[in-house]
Structure 1
Amino acid sequence: MTRDKKRKAEIREAQRSTGHRYVRLAREMTAAARLPAGTFRLSELLAECATLPPADIEWGFPDEYAPAVFESRLIGRAVPYGTVLELAGALAQQGPGARITVESMSPLSQAIVVCRERRFQLLLSQNMVNELCRKAGCDGSPDCWALTRCPRHLAECDTNALVSMARNWGNGRRDEFEHDPERLGGSREADLLIRAAVAGGSFERVRAVLLDACFGDPNLYDDMYLDASVALAMQHALEREKLRLYEVAHAEAKRIREATGACTTCGVSLMGWNPGVPPQLCFTCAPPPPAEHLSPAFSWLAAQPDADQE
């Protein structure tokens, strides 16, 4: 039987067993055949979870603390049912067709899997999944849902990625504390984003987007808040956070310059700090600034100088 005839016979067999249309099955089976080794779809893993019987594993600790597991052919190890279901919840937006690749494996301990750049630690001795830093090989975790890298690798993100994270985190922060201006600022997550932006010379752009997402457009405060005292509180909170983030950025730039000592490209001594230049580079060696994509209503913020800016 030729390869083409064998493929058609497999599709017809799948059609008889599933009742699905031939064209759909042909497309799905062709795509599955092209997946790299160690890659499978979420639907396949869920099918294993739903149909395979429990496996007997010697954990080395009392059975009452052990999770119920099954032997997964796709992952290559015994995996807790609960871990698979938690992974399915984390990938709910991607749907059952999400492609998963096994990055690494530690028997009876963990499996690291990747789906669309997202990395997950599947714990094999308990029903748990942790989302990891998207840096390959890193076992750290982001500080919150809006960040894609751990603090150690956040500065490796480009400006667009930092802007996206700042917008997502700021919108979430505003949803939570919009009626409590004093709590909108002063967060560790904002500080991490600002420090990462300083390293890449994109401080002003990232700060502007972050403040816009957290506080909204100050020109609309009088219309948004009927109580003038609330509008004034929002304005004061915005200005305080704007200055505080500048101080965080200034301290980070100073730390980087002291650690570097001289321009990493030409070796010239580093003096002062320009927020649009990576602090490890002199002005001459700095790359061109990224294009600005700020909303017209809020672009004034990035252009305003800070009172204590050098």
Structure 2
Amino acid sequence: MTRDKKRKAAIRETQAHTGRRYTQAAREITAATEREPTGFLLSQLLTECATIAPADVDWGYDCDLAPEVFHSRLFGGAVPYGTVLELAGSLAQEGRSARLTLESMSPLEVAVVVCGKRRFQLILTQDMARELCQTPACPNDQPGWAFLHCSSHLPDCNGDALVSMTEEWAYGFKTDAGRDMERREGSAEADLLIKAATANGTYERASKALLDSLFAAPDELDDLFWSEEETLAMQHAIERERLRLHNVARSEARRLWKIFGACSTCGGRLNAYGWDPSVPPRFCSANCVPPASCPSQDSATTERLAEQRPAGRSAR
């Protein structure tokens, strides 16, 4: 179904609900998609979901394949009941008083809503809501439940935020893996975190947080196991993953050196002194790194991650 056909279907739906003429309904639809973001409470959306009767929508295909929807005044269009319930589940910790802002709305396609710094894409053709990268207007998914940004925007987080995400993800992944050491090694999510930490010069902090959370801190090993064999197996797993992460970070640093070409401050050679994990790869040395060179888009990240415990996790 083309965008134009979906727009016409939305106009006809508005006609059916309001009794207005086609041209007037068309102007309303256009205004709804171009209006400034407006806010409303989750409780208001849930009230609509619980009280408004199902709406008839011309999807342009077999209606048996489409979700059951209602005409939402807050969204200015049809929204599936199941999508609202998915969103409410994701915002369970925020409660019914959570304030939402409609960032964008494409009738009979998708809508994006914002709650605080969290962004959700509501799929209007299915009973589905998924969390997006917290960077405004970014259409990309988060790589996993503990991630606040997509892989492209992870380096924009400051060191504290990135370490918090790393610890949160690693503890959860360790719980899923159980006592299987091999499952804890070689994760793609770990690579994303390490690459982001390499880009903003916090590799050493992030890698230590990851290893300590995913396995155990060195001073805790003797207390974890009764047998020397198990302790030794854990030590070997830690060292294998430490070496692997180091190689991931060095490869990422080399890749970024090629992209940047020269020091962003002095124009000098980027790898003249070898790789320094504490220096972002766009600078040649610590002397060229300006104060607070890695801006944080999320000053409340650490606090929110400390409070957040997922009810369910995204598929990995």
Letter in 2 for 1:252: E
Q: Match for residue 21 of structure 1? A: none
Q: What corresponds to 1:129 in structure 2?
A: 129
For the Cα contact (< 8 Å) 2:110–2:124, is it kept in 1?
A: yes
Shift of the alpha carbon at 1:287? 3.6
Corresponding residue of 2:63: 63
Could you list the runs of 5+ residues in structure 1 that have no partner in the other structure? 1-35, 291-310
Task: Tell me the alpha carbon deviations over residues 19-66 of structure 1, each in whole angstroms, 9 at most, x when there is no partner.
Answer: xxxxxxxxxxxxxxxxx9611111110000000111111000101011
- For residues 154 and 226 of structure 1, the distance between their equivalents in structure 2, rounded to whole angstroms, comes to 39
Deviations 1:73-118 (A, max 9, x none): 1111110000001100010111111111000111110000011211
Corresponding position of 2:257: 257
1:130-176 Cα deviation digits (max 9, x unpaired): 11111111111011111111112111111111111101011011112
Partner of 2:29: none
Cα separation, 2, equivalents of 1:218 and 1:182: 19
The question of whether the paired residues in 2 share the 8 Å contact of 1:177 and 1:183 is answered with yes
| 1:286 aligned onto 2:289 | yes
Structure index of larger Rg: 1
Are 1:149 and 2:149 matched, yes or no?
yes
CA drift of 1:227 comes to: 2.5
Greater relative contact order (CA < 8 Å, ≥ 6 in sequence): 2
Distance 2:148 2:249 in 1: 20
Does structure 2 conserve the Cα–Cα contact (< 8 Å) formed by 1:276 and 1:289? no
Determine the structure 2 residue equivalent to 1:110: 110
2:298 corresponds to which residue?
none
The residue that corresponds to 1:276 in the other structure is 278
Matches within 5 A, 1:96-245: 96-245=96-245
The amino acid across from 1:274 in the alignment is: D
SS of the equivalent of 1:255 reads helix
Once residues 105 and 137 of structure 1 are traced to their aligned partners in structure 2, the CA distance between those partners, rounded to angstroms, is 12
Alignment check: 8 A CA contact 1:194 1:207 kept:
yes
| Structure-1 separation of matches of 2:53 and 2:191 | 48
Equivalent position SS for 1:277 = coil
Deviation at 1:289, TM superposition (A): 8.4
Give the TM-score normalised by structure 2. Answer: 0.78
Q: Give, in whole Å, the separation in 1 of the partners of 2:255 and 2:145.
A: 27
Q: Secondary structure at the match of 1:105?
A: strand
Q: Give distance in 2, aligned partners of 1:74 and 1:218.
A: 54
2:211–2:217 CA contact under 8 A, matched in 1: no
Percent identity, aligned pairs only, is 53
> Residue 208 and residue 194 in structure 1: after superposition, are their counterparts in 2 closer, same or farther (change >3 A)?
same
Q: CA deviation at 1:257?
A: 0.7
Hey, what's the Cα distance between the residues in 1 that align with 2:37 and 2:182?
A: 52
CA distance in 2, matches of 1:223, 1:183: 22
2:93 match:
93
* Count of residue pairs brought into register by the alignment: 255
What is the aligned partner in structure 1 of residue 79 from structure 2?
79
Q: Give yes or no for contact 1:39–1:101 (8 Å, CA) kept in 2.
A: yes
Counterpart-to-counterpart distance in 2, 1:105 and 1:172:
34
| Distance in 1 of aligned mates of 2:204 and 2:173 | 20
* Displacement of 1:288: 5.4
Report the residue type matching 2:284 in the other structure. Answer: C
Q: Distance in 1 between matches of 2:112 and 2:91?
A: 15
CA contact (8 A) 1:143 1:150 kept: yes
Taking structure 1 as the reference length, the TM-score comes to 0.79
Give the RMSD, CA atoms, in angstroms: 1.5
Assess if the C-alpha contact under 8 Å between 1:207 and 1:245 holds in 2: yes
Question: Does the residue aligned with 2:104 lie in a helix, a strand or coil?
Answer: strand
State the alpha-carbon separation in 2 of the partners of residues 216 and 178 from structure 1: 13
Q: What 5-or-longer segments of structure 2 have no aligned partner?
A: 1-35, 294-316
Q: Which residue of 2 aligns with 1:7?
A: none
Residues 67 and 41 from structure 1, CA distance in 2 versus in 1: closer, same or farther, beyond 3 angstroms?
A: same
